Amino acid sequence: MCSNNKGKIVGKWKATSWPGMDEKDKQVMQKLGGEEGFSIVIEFTDAGKMIGILNMNILGQTKTQEVMTADYKLGTGDWIFFTNMKPPAKDGKTESKDKIVISGDTMTIDTEKGDKVTLTRMK
C-alpha cells in the first residue's frame, strides 16, 4: 500500500473554504477581524490522530474550542480512512473514507458525502 500523502499530511492546516461557506460567512469573518478573528484548524499528528479546533478572537480575547476528533489511517493513493469520529456525522456514522490531495502547502479534502474542504499548511 502506497499513500500519496505519506510524509506530507502531518501538521496543522487552516481551513480556507468549507461546505456551505457563502458570502454571509465571509462577512461574519470580516466582522470578527478577518482570518485572524476566526479560524478552523485541523491538526494531523504522526500518531494517527486528527483534531479539529475552532479559534475565535472576540474583543481581543481568543477562545479556542475542540470541535472534532478522529483517528486516521492513510490508504492507497489519495485515500484516507477516519474512524472513531467525535462527534459522529449527522447521519450517525463514526467512520469515513475521504480523498485528500496535497499540493505544496494546499490540502483539498473531498469527503465521502461529496463535500469539499480546502486548507493551507500553517507554518
- What does the pLDDT read at residue 86? 96
3 alpha-carbon distance from chain centroid: 19
Q: How many CB atoms lie within 10 A of CB 37?
A: 16
Q: What are the extents of the domains in the chain?
A: 11-121
Residue 35: DSSP 8-state: G
Q: Write down the pLDDT at residue 26.
A: 60
Which CATH number is 11-121's, of 3.40.50.300, 1.10.287.70, 3.90.1150.10, 2.40.128.490?
Answer: 2.40.128.490
Q: Measured between alpha carbons, how far is 115 from 45 in angstroms, rounded to an integer?
A: 23
Q: Can you give the pTM of this predicted structure?
A: 0.82
How is the chain split among helix, strand and coil, in percent rounded to 5? 10, 55, 35
Mean pLDDT (10-residue bins), the chain, 123 residues: 92 84 62 62 96 82 86 97 93 94 96 90 92
Residue 63's pLDDT is what? 82
Largest CA distance in the chain: 49
pLDDT of residue 64: 84
